[in-house]
Amino acid sequence: MGVIQTVENASSLDGDIDFAQAPKRDLLRQKLSGPRITEFQVVIRQSALNGIHTHGDSSPAAEICGVLVGDVYQDATSAFLQIEHIIKGEAATRSAGQVTFTAETWQHIQEIMDRDYSDLRIVGWYHTHPGHGIFLSEMDIFLHESFFGLPWQTALVYDPRTGDEGFFSSESGHARRMPHLIEANEPATAKLSHAGLPVGELETAPIVAPRRAAVPLMRTRKRHRTASLGRLLLAIIGLFLFAALGVIIGLAIRTQDLHLPDWVLRMSRP
């Protein structure tokens, strides 16, 4: 890993951004997915998030990664991090399911930064956890603090199987989930979007359209449960009918004994 360097090394930022000096930018409240809170908040444009979803969904088994491009701004509420673009981590190699940024990846990223986003900064990175949830592993924390360790830089984790995502910051080996907002600058392409919901609401978020493997699996399980319940009910009804039939036959025999016609009685006597 020795030759790897962050693009931020070349920037004038030393990490201690004076938020009070950050450029002012007003966010359109009606375009945001939630309320602005008095805390350093991540604001990601829907177009950038769509790019991450598309990149992540293209690789449903193996992890992919890239960097987040934007800057730190302030509005009347507080300073915020605005993510405007992404750069896919081309040539990023994987080992044992873990993404890593190689020297070639950084070179590619640097070229695009110089060419397209020379007025912006690398504000963090994203990677996927296909099917294993939203968190930063120990290796992720190491990678984050090595390459994106400035206090305002963020790590986005996206799970292409569930559609969940979350932003994190990390300090001294401890990851912390950060609140985030989505700025609607274009329609969301994700069919199943849990994005921007508070963590507690993730489980109850309405399913817009079945897309992920987890959805049909859950439905199958539910159908199985209903089927076995129906079978149990049928068995109980069957048992009840069987018992009732026994009682009816018994009663019929007794009744018949009492009301057998005379000719039958006569015939049955020797």
**Shortest Cβ distance from residue 158 to Zn ion (Å)?**
10
**Shortest Cβ distance from residue 114 to Zn ion (Å)?**
28
Window contacting Zn ion (CB under 5 A); options: 54-62, 134-142, 203-211, 236-244? 134-142
Q: Is 140 in the site for Zn ion (CB under 5 A)?
A: yes
Q: 84 vs 140, which CB is nearer to Zn ion?
A: 140
Residues in the chain, how many?
270
**Shortest Cβ distance from residue 86 to Zn ion (Å)?**
17
**Shortest Cβ distance from residue 89 to Zn ion (Å)?**
13
Q: 74 vs 137, which CB is nearer to Zn ion?
A: 137
Q: 22 vs 160, which CB is nearer to Zn ion?
A: 160
Number of residues that bind Zn ion (CB under 5 A): 2
3-state secondary structure the chain: CCCCCCHHHHCCCCCCCCHHHCCECCCCHHHECCCCCCCCEEEEEHHHHHHHHHHHHCCCCCCCEEEEEEEEEECCCCEEEEEEEEEECCCCEEECCEEECCHHHHHHHHHHHHHHCCCCEEEEEEEECCCCCCCCCHHHHHHHHHHCCCCCCEEEEECCCCCCEEEEEEECCEEEEECEEEECCCCCCCCCCCCCCCHHHCCCCCCCCCCCCHHHHHHHHHHHHHHHHHHHHHHHHHHHHHHHHHHHHHHHHHHHHHHCCHHHHHHHCC
Q: 102 vs 110, which CB is nearer to Zn ion?
A: 102
Q: Is 145 in the site for Zn ion (CB under 5 A)?
A: no
Window contacting Zn ion (CB under 5 A); options: 104-112, 131-139, 177-185, 204-212? 131-139
Kind of pairing, strands 41-45 and 180-183? parallel
Window contacting Zn ion (CB under 5 A); options: 2-10, 117-125, 132-140, 252-260? 132-140
Q: Is 57 in the site for Zn ion (CB under 5 A)?
A: no
Q: 19 vs 135, which CB is nearer to Zn ion?
A: 135
Q: 47 vs 124, which CB is nearer to Zn ion?
A: 124
By the criterion CB under 5 A, which residues form the site for Zn ion? 137, 140
